[in-house]
Amino acid sequence: MCICINCHHVNNCSTYFSIEKQHQKTHLNLAPEFVPQYPVINVNIIRSDLDLKIDWDVVECMSFVENPGKWLILHET
């Protein structure tokens, strides 16, 4: 699971912007200005008989500041 969803910087983070793009999701911010320090991204490739799925998750980040559920609040507005 991506730790970004519980980070204070999620709506202004350039790395999360990239994760949204990889998942083909709507961006929280079209011009994020925050550049996090040392994000670690796990890329998982899931293969089934019919298709291939790629899952991108930030699992570590030196800039992480916990703010549980911030992304939920942002998606409600």
pLDDT, tens only, 16-44:
999 999 989 889 899 999 999 999 999 99
Q: Please give the Cα distance from 58 to 42 (Å, whole number).
A: 6
Domain residues for the domain of 23 are: 3-76
The neighbouring-strand residues paired with 60 are 40
23 within 8 A of 56, measured Cβ to Cβ: yes
Q: Please give the Cα distance from 42 to 77 (Å, whole number).
A: 29
User: Quick check: helix, strand or coil at residue 71?
Assistant: helix
pLDDT at 1: 81
Count the domains in the chain: 1
pLDDT at 75: 66
pLDDT at 76: 63
Cα 37 from chain centroid (whole Å): 14
pTM: 0.84
Proportion of the chain above pLDDT 70, given as a percent: 96
